[in-house]
């Protein structure tokens, strides 16, 4: 029998691409973009926005294309059944990703693109990956790297 000695991880991570009219100038801009006009902001939002502001990285259109076509799992990807035809899955995935990319770039023409990456290997990372309303924010794409 084999035993694993050392750390075993079941952590996840996600990447986020944001299409914005302009580069955020401070954490308050991040709050306005991601949380909008909440009557009362959830606990820890200022700290999360400050961290996001420190981490946000501008990327060019070529990097957007690379990340959307070649990385992780996205909602537009087909569901892969264990016994499915893998070649057909790859073909469908490529087609879906290309259609998604074309639509995303068209909808966000003239905007600036930014990249973030967070994992739940720390408490703060988990909070940034799962507690920020990424999925409800226009112009944000979530790429799961589980």
Predicted confidence (pLDDT) per residue in 90-132, tens digit: 999 999 999 999 999 999 999 999 999 999 999 999 999 999 9
Predicted confidence (pLDDT) per residue in 3-18, tens digit: 444 444 567 999 999 9
User: What HEC string does the chain produce?
Assistant: CCCCCCCCCCCCEEEEEEEECCCCCCHHHHHHHHCCCCCCCCCCHHHHHHHHHHHCEEECHHHHHHHHHHCCECCCCCCCCCCCCHHHHHHHHHHHHHHHHHHHHHHCCCCEEEEEEEECCCHHHHHHHHCCCHHHCCCEEEEECC
Average pLDDT for residues 46-51, to the nearest whole number? 96
Choose between 27 and 84: higher pLDDT.
27
Q: What is the pTM of this model?
A: 0.88
């Amino acid at each position: 029998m084999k035993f694993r000695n050392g750390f075993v991880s079941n952590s996840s991570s996600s990447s986020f691409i944001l299409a914005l009219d302009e580069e955020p100038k401070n954490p308050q801009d991040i709050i306005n973009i991601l949380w909008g006009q909440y009557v009362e902001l959830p606990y820890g939002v200022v700290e999360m926005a400050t961290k996001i502001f420190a981490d946000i990285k501008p990327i060019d259109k070529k990097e957007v294309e690379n990340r959307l076509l070649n990385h992780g799992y996205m909602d537009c990807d087909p569901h892969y059944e264990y016994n499915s035809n893998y070649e057909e899955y790859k073909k469908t995935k490529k087609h879906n990703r290309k259609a998604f990319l074309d639509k995303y770039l068209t909808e966000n023409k003239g905007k600036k693109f930014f990249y973030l990456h967070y994992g739940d290997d720390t408490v703060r990372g988990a909070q940034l990956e799962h507690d920020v309303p990424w999925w409800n924010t226009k112009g944000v794409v979530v790429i799961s790297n589980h």
